[in-house]
């Protein structure tokens, strides 16, 4: 949990966030991030609210861009991953059962 010296809740630190989605049926925030450090891979992070506990952190290797799509009832999350393979842009899709 993120709190300041007076035990008040504060912002959640996360480097390189590119997109986020609020899942009201789960009280989760899901965000994609591309940290600026070269030795850290892009990732998708699932946070629970109000506890601000990290539920899952999924690393995506060799990713150039990610786009998230949520099922209308919020039961599934689709992640479109764009990556380069021998100078050719390719795509993969990952599905998460929420």
pLDDT tens-digit map of 73-88: 888 999 999 998 888 9
Please state the pTM of the whole predicted model: 0.80
Residues counted in the chain: 98
Place of tokens 């035990």: 7
Q: What is d(CA 21, CA 39) in angstroms, rounded to the nearest whole number? A: 26
**Tens digit of each residue's pLDDT (9 = 90 or more) over 18-49:** 899 998 888 899 999 988 877 888 999 999 88
Q: Which of 86, 5, 13 lies closest to 45 in space, CA to CA? A: 13
Asked, as a colleague might, if the bond just before 50 is cis with ω within 30 of 0, I would say: yes
CA 60 to chain centre: 10
pLDDT tens digits, 45-62: 999 887 888 888 988 888
CB 33 within 8 Å of CB 18? yes
């Amino acid at each position: 949990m993120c709190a300041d010296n007076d035990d008040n809740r504060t912002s959640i630190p996360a480097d390189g966030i590119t997109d986020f989605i609020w899942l009201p049926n789960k009280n989760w925030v899901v965000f994609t991030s591309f940290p600026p450090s070269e030795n850290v891979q892009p990732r998708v992070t699932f946070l629970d609210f109000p506890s601000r506990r990290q539920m899952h952190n999924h690393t995506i290797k060799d990713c150039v861009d990610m786009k998230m799509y949520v099922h209308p009832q919020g039961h599934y999350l689709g992640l479109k991953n764009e990556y380069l393979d021998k100078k050719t842009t390719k795509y993969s899709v990952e599905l998460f059962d929420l």
